[in-house]
Amino acid sequence: MGNFYLCKHSISGPGPGKVTWGCKESVFALAVVLIAALCFLPGLGSFGILDPTDSFFIEVAREMTERHHYITALYNYTDWLDKPALSFWPIILASKLLGMNPWAARLPAALSGMALVAATYIFAAPRLGQRAAILSAAVLCSSPLFLLTGHVALSDEILGMFFGVAMLYAGTTLASQRQKINIVAYVFLALAILTKGPIPLILAFGAIVLYLCMTCSSLNEAGRKFGQLRPIVGTIILLVLCLPYFYLAHITTNGAFSVQFFLRQNVGRMLGTVNHQEPIWFYVPILFGGYFPWILYLLISIPWLKRLFARRRQLTQRQGLVIFCACWLFWVLLLFTLVPTKLPTYIVPLSPALAILVGTYLYLLMRLYKQCKGADQSWLQSRAAIIILSLPPMLSFAGSLVGLWMLPKLMAGQMSCYGILVLIGALTLVDCWLFWRRKLVQAVFSLAITFVFIGSILVPCSFLWFYQSHQLGMDKLIAIAKAQNANIAILFSRVPSVVFSMQKPVLEIKSLPELEQFCRIGHKPHLQNCLNLPELHVKQHTIASDGRWYLLNVEGYPYK
């Protein structure tokens, strides 16, 4: 593998020259946006709201709209101070324009994903080359975790877009020699802070400091580079845009928002004193599954990145942007790995950095293959290189065969799913064939097209399958209770879809005494998912069941 990176073009390439943007680039940018739209928009509303993913955000936005309560969030008609209101404002706006429905609620996340794909191309094309930018955009919009997050009404995709654009501005500024950062970058960073709190600022500052430590030979040089970011102007912009909202949220809740959001949710998650605590290796499978197959090419590119870091004191603009993306990816992954509180979507902000690294590396492989001669090209022509480069499509082909074998057990043999898996197997087999025939340029672009197509088909199909197998039964039970105008209570759980469907408060019972109190008041059906309480006598009082949830009539409790 060592000889893979000896060609001089694998590092230097043409100089950055003057960054220009013309009609041709605009046409390609429009094509990138259309491809991203095909990845994010189809099937967006083909499934109902999902517990526990996007149901919280959809229900909170509905209650805020209903009560005209736009400063802090509401859930179950009480204050829910875990997140700033900007996490819900896009959903509220979309719902006011298009109605309160799953498609409208998920549209802001999908549009954010599309915008970040377009921004990745727009920032990369003048600096890394058009082909590298196209490949980077394709890697981004075909990364499973990025696509999945863009299909649900969460704030992580919106955060990823705000943070990603700010970081792309910072990276292209630091990679240049004298360029000053556009103050629009700080507007995007402020919006990211208003969406998620101070964590975007920590992520941005850490990545920038790491880059300066890696590439600057003296404090004076680091100070000059940092000055290109116009930190004083940036600080003023952040304070002007962020402080008014946080102050307003503080005074309207008598300080409860600051305590709950800043201390419990931010400090508590950093210290691991709230929920979602996971082991330190949690993100290893998330990276491999959430960024397959591109994570494999990122691992293959490590020797190339090591060589770039070896000459990090003398970088071109292209190389500087690549090193910045490596620092960006590493810092985000390191921080969330060390933090005890973990969720898969936390690492979405590293997606553009990973996409640019992989897209640039694949582009340089194609240039190396076409331009380098003799010994430099011999490794790429070797059997070992062919096996390594074709490993991702081979794994995908094997996965489609496994899927065909397991499909009857999972989904009762739906023919449409059979057809999709057969098509995926055929496309990945074509990719393998192109690699084995040593048609590297065609193989790389075919691979990008294949996984863009796979992601655009599989992600909405996966959500539809999840809804039908896990959520549809719940919705039927809620419909029964709603038809009886019942007072519903949930035992030992939070189910926002119930509140969304009933459009009135739903009691969350945490103990049997609370259940008794509810029974004395209500005498109506009760929804629960716990069968280990013999006092409930589930079998004798079940109205309906979907196999996991049971709709019980609690009239006459306690049962004898």
- What DSSP letter does each residue of 400-431 carry, written as one string? HHHHHHHHHHHHS--HHHHHHHHHHHHHHHHH
Tell how far CA 210 is from the center of its chain.
Answer: 23
Nearest one of 183, 172, 90 to 126, comparing CA atoms:
172
Q: In whole angstroms, what is the distance from residue 555 CA to residue 250 CA?
A: 43
- What DSSP letter does each residue of 535-557 carry, written as one string? GG-GGGGEEEE-SS-EEEE-TTP
Distance from the first to the final alpha carbon of the chain: 74
Per-residue tens of pLDDT for the chain, all 560 residues: 333 333 444 444 434 434 566 777 788 899 999 999 999 998 898 888 988 788 999 999 999 999 999 999 999 999 988 899 999 999 999 999 999 999 999 999 999 999 999 999 999 999 999 999 999 999 999 999 999 999 999 999 999 999 999 999 999 999 988 889 999 999 999 999 999 999 999 999 999 999 999 999 899 999 999 999 999 999 999 999 999 999 999 999 999 999 999 888 888 777 766 777 889 999 999 999 999 999 999 999 999 999 988 887 788 889 999 999 999 999 999 999 999 989 999 999 999 999 999 999 999 988 887 765 554 555 666 777 778 888 888 888 887 777 766 666 555 445 466 777 788 888 888 988 988 888 888 999 999 999 999 998 889 888 988 888 888 888 888 888 888 777 777 877 778 888 888 888 888 877 777 776 766 665 444 444 433 444 555 555 677 777 777 777 766 555 44
Nearest one of 102, 77, 78, 76 to 490, comparing CA atoms:
76
Nearest one of 124, 183, 181 to 321, comparing CA atoms:
124
Which residues touch 454 (CB under 8 Å, ≥6 apart)? Answer: 142, 396, 424, 427
User: Residue ranges of the domains in the chain?
Assistant: 2-381, 471-553
For residue 125, give the amino acid letter.
Answer: A
Distances in whole angstroms, Cα of residue 526 to Cα of each of 473, 498, 559 = 15, 12, 14
Q: Are 169 and 184 in contact (CB under 8 A)?
A: yes
> What SS3 state is found at 123?
helix
pTM here is 0.90
